[in-house]
Structure 1
Amino acid sequence: MSMSPSVAVVGPGAIGTTVAAALHEVGRTPRIYGRTPREQLELRVDDDRILVPGPVQTSPAQVDGAVDLVFLAVKSTQVEAAAPWLKALCDADTVICVLQNGVEQQNLVTPYSHGARIIPSVVWFPAQAQPDGSVWLRAAPRLTLPDTPAARVALTALRGTRCSVELSTDFASVAWRKLLQNAVAGLMVLTGRRSGMFARDDIAALSLAYLREGLEVARAEGASLSDEVPREIVSAFQAFPPDMGTSILADREANRPLEWSIRNGVIQRRGRAHGIPTPISDLVVPLLAAASDG
């Protein structure tokens, strides 16, 4: 693999734009593919604006061959729609780095990978799409990847950029911890409120109970997580700016399909498989599913 692998970003939303801007800043501008034509991407960081030249290519017919690395930054509900891009961009030598929520990324993407190696990721930064099409990055971006040879391709591509990469030998534990955070964020959809709601004692108590339910399932799945994780996650939400949202809330506000299955439904499904009662999930999941259906 070259020290400067050829890179494509599929899905230039909030996460995809952040990664594309990080690469562009250091002279590694990726090829950009998505549904919406744009002349450029814009990332806002504090008082800075990073403009990534386009255009965003909107037809797989515009792809001129396979690349070394694809950052797949579409939501789990959009993977099937992204399949033509993967067909055009991937071969057996390609690595697909999946920038999505959940612990089922490999299973979701494998049917469309065309022999490419797939690496899951955990995305640790809040990036919010703005009404004008720009993206507001509200914290330093970082990714956690499993410590595998394929992951080192993404590490090489992002080395020296503002997006740091950590390789984990216990990726399952990291991924499940992030999933628990994503799961409790689903409560924002049911209230229509942002992170400030976690300052309420009743919401904090409900969140802790939900997280402890998820923690039992995560441990049954092999994650090594301490009893303190639920409290740490709630405390983190309480420390966020009160207007901080989450991607699933943004999708609800825009009346788009929700990633309820991979963020919340997975706790219920895996709990049932292990014989673990999930009474809070049994209430939350159908409500989120109904919100997704419209």
Structure 2
Amino acid sequence: MTTKAEAGVAVLGPGAIGTTIAAALHEVGRTPLLCGRTPRDSLTLRDRGRLVVVPGPVQTDPAGIDRPVDLVFLAVKATQTAAAAAWLAALSGPDTVVCVLQNGIEQLESVTPHCPQARVVPAVVWFPAQAQADGSVHLRGNVRISLPDTSASQVVAQALKGTRCSVELASNFNALAWRKLMQNAVAGLMALTHRRAGMFNRSDISRLTLDYLQECLAVARAEGVELGDEVPRAILDTFQAFPADMGTSILTDREAGRPLEWDIRNGIIARRGRVHGIATPISDVLVPLLAAASDGAG
């Protein structure tokens, strides 16, 4: 059966991030088309005692899409982008904006080849949302995204206007993206230790974290990104302020035995460091360990 994309907005990848965005739209009467690998009748978001149920169903066959939509929120993991290529082709056209709700700073390079007609907008996602064993999503903070200040981003901002998701159109988007990359890189330590945010209050882990963040900062600055000396300490403070049981997506993937986003979150620091002749001794240890945890035999 052909599915008409009457909503004009699709959420591709109804995991933790996708469910949160879908719920934000549904709450204000803009229920999106839901697309993913697993058939589900609805999505459920839990937020400080509130329950938001987004009606489905989740569409699982891109061949059932009969025309492009105006806006796609791409919320699959970066490791799943290639697998979502058929969806991107079906949902996007020359008038489509694709907002990439993924980690990393290489969103344009990785997504654009799969939807060359569309306008692709990279995003920085700032909210903590965790998938639960029952399939629901637990939101543990306010919902906010940052976008570059472009005309395509205005389409995204308009779609989310009046929702719980605040949108920042940032002239310094590159700096924000690198700051979030540094935060995500540190989260790799959680995947390796199988520990949650409480571990950052250990003095040995906090020292390692600061040293790693200084390494990341040196690479970011070599890339021409303007970030202040205070950023490493501020990122560590953020982790130390989290509830002790707060997890992260890369830890969730590690616990589930899924492939990790190790290259876009950690490998990129070493890769870009080599380009600029910057030593990255901590990355040189962490990256092969994360790669082995994700992809290695044994």
Fold shared per TM-score above 0.5: yes
Aligned to 1:201: 203
Give the CA deviation at 1:114: 3.2
- 1:270 and 2:264 aligned: no
Q: Which amino acid aligns with 2:136?
A: S
AA in 1 matched with 2:37: R
SS in 2 for 1:20: helix
| Residue deviations 1:16-51 (CA, integer Å, cap 9, x gap) | 000000000000000000000000000001111000
- How high is the TM-score relative to the length of structure 1? 0.98
- Counterpart for residue 252 of structure 1: 254
CA spacing shift, 1:134–1:240, aligned 2, 3 Å: same
- Aligned pairs for 1:53-64 (under 5 A) are 53-64=55-66
Cross-structure match for 2:245: 243
Select between 219-228 and 119-128 the one with higher mean Cα deviation.
219-228
User: How far apart are the structure 2 equivalents of 1:223 and 1:15?
Assistant: 27
SS of the equivalent of 2:54 reads strand
Matched, 1:179 2:188: no
Partner of 1:126: 128
Classify the secondary structure of the residue corresponding to 1:186: helix
Q: What is the CA-CA distance between 1:112 and the residue it aligns to? A: 0.2
Q: Which of 142, 145, 148 pairs up with 1:146?
A: 148
Q: Which amino acid aligns with 2:225?
A: A
Q: TM-score, normalising length from structure 2?
A: 0.96
1:48 aligns to what?
A: 50
Per-residue Cα deviation, 1:91-117 (whole angstroms, up to 9, x for no partner): 111000000000000000011013101
State whether structure 2 residue 219 is matched by structure 1 residue 214.
Answer: no
1:216-267, Cα deviation, whole Å (9 max, x unpaired): 1011112111001000001110110000000000000000000000000000
State the match for 2:38 in structure 1.
36
Contact 2:7 2:30 in 1 (8 A): no
- Contact kept, 8 Å, 2:129 with 2:140, in 1: the verdict is yes
Gaps of at least 5 residues in structure 1 are: none
Contact 2:19-2:45 at 8 Å conserved across structures: yes
CA distance in structure 1 between the partners assigned to 2:95 and 2:188 by the alignment = 37
Query: Hey, what's the Cα distance between the residues in 1 that align with 2:143 and 2:94?
Result: 29
Once the two structures are superposed, residues 118-142 of structure 1 have per-residue CA deviations (whole angstroms, 9 ceiling, x without a partner) of 0000000000000000000000110
What displacement does 1:62 show?
Answer: 1.6
Please show how residues 13-162 of structure 1 align to structure 2 within 5 Å.
13-162=15-164
Moved over 2 A (4+): none
Q: Is the 8 A contact 1:173 1:222 kept in 2?
A: no
C-alpha distance in 2, partners of 1:218/1:111? Answer: 25
1:5 to partner: Cα distance: 7.7
C-alpha distance 5-218 of structure 1, shift in aligned 2 (>3 A): farther
- Work out the percentage of aligned pairs sharing the same amino acid: 68
Cα distance in 2 between the residues matched to 1:77 and 1:21? 24
The residue identity in structure 1 corresponding to 2:56 is G
Deviation at 1:282, TM superposition (A): 0.4
* Separation of aligned partners in 2, 1:147 and 1:233: 24
Instruction: Tell me the secondary structure at the aligned position of residue 167 of structure 1.
Output: strand
- Counterpart of 2:3? none
CA RMSD of aligned residues (A): 1.0
> For residues 222 and 11 of structure 1, what CA distance do their matches in structure 2 show?
33
Contact 1:13–1:129 at 8 Å: present in 2 too?
A: yes
Residues in 1 aligned to 2:285 and 2:295: alpha-carbon distance in whole angstroms = 16
Any idea what the Cα deviations from partners look like across 1:56-110, whole Å, max 9, x if unmatched? 0000012121011000000110000000001100111100000000000000001
Shift of 1:189: 1.1
Partner of 1:52, secondary structure, is strand
Q: 1-side partners of 2:205 and 2:211: how far apart?
A: 10
Letter in 2 for 1:223: V
